[in-house]
Structures are given as structure tokens and as C-alpha cells.
Amino acid sequence: MTDLWTACSRALLAKLISQFCTEGLLEPVDNRLDLGAASYTFEATRGGFGSWRVDPTSIRRTTAGILGNDESEPATDPIHFFVEAADVLRLDGSTMAGYVAELTSTLAADVRMAASAVPAADLLDLHHSRLEGHLTGHPLLVANKGRLGFSAADSQRYAPEARTPLRLTWLAVRRGLAEFRGTPDLSEHAVIARELDASVVQTFRAKLDDPDAYVWLPCHPWQLDHVIRTQWARELATGEIVVLGESPDEYLPTQSIRTMVNITNLTRYQVKLPLKILNTSVYRGIPTHCTLAAPMLTQWLRGLWSRDDLFQQLGTELLGEVASVTVPHPQLSTHPTTPYQWTETLGVIYRDPIDPRLHEGESVWPLAAVLHTGFTSAAITRSGAEPQAWLSALLGTLLRPLLHLLHEYGITVNPHGENLAIICDPNGVPARLVIKDLVDDINISTDPIVARGPEPDSHARVLPRKPWHILRQYVVDALLLGVLNPLAAQNHIPEHLFWSLARAEIDLYTTTHPEHTTRLAATALTGEAFARYPLNGYRLTLGYTDLDTRPPIPTTGTITNPLHSA
């Protein structure tokens, strides 16, 4: 276990140095970082967008010896490095300690995953719900498994890498306190009938004096124990909230932890549930405006999808968020300065499942899988395709619908590895795209666009309106930097060729859609540079004080664009 810990520790240290240098948080001189009492040297290459790629085996720490001579030794400890860098990073003690907790939690999770790792080729045979538990997390965020709020036992029970099925507890909440919303084809009873067997419904109804006076919803067992039974104790005592019991279906968490996939019945909904834990910069609750708006936005997007010839031709799948239950806290939600993690503790969003969308012989996996060590190589080998052909198919599958959504309708999603999935044809070649996690991440252009029709939130704004250069940043940060750049670094084909294939997709869309010339010029995806949004710097800037909103990420300079010269 010691050797495993050292290997994972060394890898996390290399990632920390790589990402902090990439974001300009630390500025090495000749591959050397002077941190005051110690300096660190390393070997590194430079990749797309000015990224640093540090060799984990090359990192050395040097200090002044007691006899005046320098003492140098291999460095493997990211915690030690970060604490030594705290003054250079200008961090206060609270922020330093909070981030150390996140780093330590991440490292412990990495070690657990490494101890139970399976050969990459075997991952291809796993159902997408089980594959999620083998993926190593956000490629750019260093402390990507911080999960502050989880104990060690919680992580071993509820984290994706635990790969342990769990059951959800159902609650009944009095009407007036809770509100159900669904797409036009769904009623509360229709959702309940789909999610619960008739015998379970009968058992739950018997626990209520007037079953239809309540709105029913599932709850994560951790949230029930740590938040509902404490923060909502009054409502439980008065019968405004009734614990109905566990449903027998088993679920597995996705990488986001709070979204559950039903593995007992693959035709039942995915459920997105609030968790009052801090992970990857924010608390993982569900804002009230998201639960209220989800079915409305889904119905609007379904209309666009059904009328669009290209989406139909490409077979792009939209996993709608078809129903929701909103339960605002009766006291805390009324005060405007209440920290948001206290007001987003109870509710649910029901999302369409993937499996019923698959055609005969197709398979599906989350986009993040391409960054798992060995997965892409194994997928290419099994398909029998040449690496260039397979990667070209992947890039076309990704970029064609996303470019069209952005430029035809002025709509962008947040296309990172968790929010997209790839459907492969029977030969294992990428063929179709799945888009999910809509209401949290949909943004639309400030410019009105006739093709998208009237927005569904004209009276109560839910969709952020943003100019074109900001809309394109979602594609840049989430997809180009967050997925394609680390994929290009795997060198299945020469890196310049990889970016040429990606550039070819943008040029193809530009050529075949001359009506969007002005919008394409505004997004400028092949321009010389993009604004830099430092995700790790954002975590350190926020610190660990309670905030009433999720603030935007500030920009810090620019990054060069490999698509420009491709």
C-alpha cells in the first residue's frame, strides 16, 4: 500500500504543478519554482493552450543544508508542496487548510481507485453506470474529489469509486411546502407509477392519512441522515414531512455523486438529488430555480430538437429533465443573505435514462472515459479502426451537434466529460452524442434568434443571456481544454494532426453554413487566443467562507489556441 500511495501522491503532485503553472498561479523559471525555504525543479513539456505537462518522476525538492550546501531529494508529496507554496500563492491560513483537506481527500480516493483498478480493456465491457465508478475525475481540477462533508466511511459507501449500489429513501412532503412540475405528458402519479412498483406504492400510501395531500420524492440516504433529520426536524415532527421508507431498486452514483442511475430497472429515470457537500468548488445542492425550470426547459429544447433536420440526421440524443419536485426551506429561503448551501437541501430532478435510446448493437460510455488511462487505446484496438479514423469519428460526433446548437440557436451546454456521453456503433466507433444536465448549464445568446423561438423564461429569467464570446467559452473550457487537450496529449496520433482534425470539423461547419458567418466570426473558435478562466485559482480565490450565491469565475489573461495554427 505504501508504494501505491507514493505513486498516486507523485501523480497528484505532478498534476498540481502542471495545472497551477498552466493557470499562471505559479510561474516557473527554467522549470524551477522558488517557494522561499525550498525550490522545486522538474522536467515538463508544453501542450495546447499553453498547458504544462510535468513528468511525475522528475520532480525534486531542494533546500539549504545545515552545512551551507544544497540538499536535493525526489519530491512526491502534494500536500507538502502546497503548504510551502501558500505564501507565493498569497493564501490565508483558512484557505490553505481547507484546500489541504480537499487534496488529502482526493489523494485517498485516488489510492482506493488504484488499489481496485481493472485492465482498461475490461472497462469496455462494463455497463455505463458501472464504468462511472472507475473514472478518475475532472482532468483540470486538482482536488477533484474533495467532498468536504463526507467522512471516510461515507466516501467508502457513497462515492462513485466505491462501486456500491445504494437504495433511496422516499419522503412525502405536504403540498404547499413542496411543488411538483413535469413536462405536459407527465403527472405526479405517472412519475410515481414509473419509479415505484405497485406494491411499494401501496405500502407507502398506507403510511399517510391522506396520500394525495403530499408530494413524494426520493432522498439520498446521506442527505436524510445529515441534513433532513436535523435541518428539517420540525417538519418531520409535525408530519409535514413523512419518511415513507426505502424503495427496493438499487442505484449507482455517476461521477457527479448526486446523480443516481437505476441499475435494477434501466428504463426508470436517473435522479439528481441534493447533497450538502463541497466538491469541485461548490456545494452540491440543487437551486430552487433549477428544479422549478427543468421540465419547462426540457419541453422547449425537445421542440427545437424535433424540428431540426441536422439533430435528427446525426441522431443526437437529448436526455430531458422531465419532472421535478421543489422544496424550499420555509424560513431560510426567505432571507436573501442565507448561504446557498442551506437553501438547496431538498428536492429532485428526474432525467430520462440512456438505455432505451440505444439501437441494436450500440454501446454507450461517458465522454470522460476517453481520459482514463488506456481506455481510448483499448476502444480503438477493439473497433479495428485506425487511430486517426476513430478519433476523427469522435471529434465529428462531438463537434457537429455542439457547433450547430451554438450557431443555429445561440445555445450552449457545458460540454465536459460528465455532461456528454458517446454512443458507439456495433463496431465500437463513435457515432452519436448524448447531451444531459440541462437546466444547470444552458446559456443563450444575448442576441435574439428567430430559430429558437420565444424563450420559455420570458417572465422569470432562468437562462443566463451572454454575448457570443462568452458562450463560446463553455466549448473552450469544458470541451477543448477539459477533454480534447488531455486526449491529444495521449499521442494516439501526432498532436498537430489531432488539432487539424478538430479544426477540420469547424471549417466544415463554416463552409456548409454560410448563413452563420457573422456568428462564427463572433465565436472565433479558430482565433489566436481565448480568455483564461482558472478553475483551480477560482477554488483558492473563493476560500471556504459561506456565500449566498455561486460567483462567476474571473478571467486572468489569455491562452494560445492550437486550433488557430492547425
Q: Which domain holds residue 16?
A: 2-90
Residue 511 located in a structural domain: yes
Q: Supply φ then ψ for residue 176, to 5 degrees.
A: 100, -35
Residue 424 located in a structural domain: yes
Claim to verify: residue 244 and residue 339 sit in the same structural domain: yes
Instruction: Tally the domains of the chain.
Output: 3
pLDDT score for 196: 98
Claim to verify: residue 189 and residue 320 sit in the same structural domain: yes
Q: Closest by alpha carbon to 61, among 69, 70, 52?
A: 70
pLDDT score for 332: 93
Could you read off the pLDDT of 252-294 as tens digits, one per residue? 999 999 999 999 999 999 999 999 999 988 899 999 999 999 9
Q: Which three cell numbers stand for residue 30?
A: 527554467
Give the rounded distance of the alpha carbon of 187 from its chain centre: 29
CA distances from 557 to 25, 140, 312, 533 (A): 11, 18, 39, 8
Could you read off the pLDDT of 136-179 as tens digits, one per residue? 999 999 999 999 999 999 999 999 999 999 999 999 999 999 99
Claim to verify: residue 367 and residue 283 sit in the same structural domain: no
CATH number of residue 511's parent domain: 1.10.510.40
Claim to verify: residue 173 and residue 261 sit in the same structural domain: yes
pLDDT score for 67: 64
pLDDT score for 259: 97
Could you read off the pLDDT of 81-110 as tens digits, one per residue? 999 999 999 999 999 999 999 999 999 999
Give the CA-trace dihedral at 311, 313, 319, 323, to 10 degrees: 70
pLDDT score for 187: 96
**How many Å apart are CA 142 and CA 102, to the nearest integer?**
9
pLDDT score for 470: 94
pLDDT beneath 50: ranges in the chain: none
Residue 268 located in a structural domain: yes
CATH number of residue 30's parent domain: 3.30.310.280
The DSSP bridge pattern shows strands 52-54 and 38-41 to be: unpaired
Residue 554 located in a structural domain: no
Claim to verify: residue 435 and residue 469 sit in the same structural domain: yes
Claim to verify: residue 190 and residue 320 sit in the same structural domain: yes
Claim to verify: residue 371 and residue 345 sit in the same structural domain: no
**How many Å apart are CA 244 and CA 208, to the nearest integer?**
9
Residue 48 located in a structural domain: yes
Q: How many CB atoms lie within 10 A of CB 552?
A: 10
Last residue of a domain, one of 39, 70, 90: 90
Claim to verify: residue 295 and residue 389 sit in the same structural domain: no
pLDDT score for 440: 81
Residue 84 located in a structural domain: yes
**How many Å apart are CA 422 and CA 45, to the nearest integer?**
30
**How many Å apart are CA 512 and CA 36, to the nearest integer?**
56
Claim to verify: residue 338 and residue 455 sit in the same structural domain: no
Percent of the chain with pLDDT over 70: 99
Residue 217 located in a structural domain: yes
